[in-house]
Amino acid sequence: MEKQNLRLTVSDAALDIIAKAGFDPIYGARPLKRAIQSEIENPLAKALLAGNYAPESEIRVEADGDRLKFA
């Protein structure tokens, strides 16, 4: 993303969704890491490979109900 000057911005509501999905007092940060991977990293990688974002774009992660969306 850095080579293409892409910026990623995550809204507070989206952070809340990730925090809720990744919260587990027993397993620590592992579920949070998995939630970030499955909810942000993997869909974003697919969108980038599909060419959905031009260089120097700002990609916003926002809440859409209880799901995340990229704008």
**Within a domain: residue 64?**
yes
Walk along the chain (71 residues) and give the pLDDT tens digit of each residue: 777 899 999 999 999 999 999 988 898 888 999 999 999 999 999 999 999 999 999 999 999 999 999 98
Domain, as residue range, for 25: 7-70
pLDDT at 2: 76
pLDDT at 18: 95
**pTM, full prediction:** 0.82
**Within a domain: residue 11?**
yes
**Within a domain: residue 1?**
no
Query: How many CA atoms within 13 Å lie on the side-chain side of 5?
Result: 4
CATH number of domain containing 52: 1.10.8.60
**Within a domain: residue 2?**
no
pLDDT at 1: 75
CA 59 to chain centre: 10
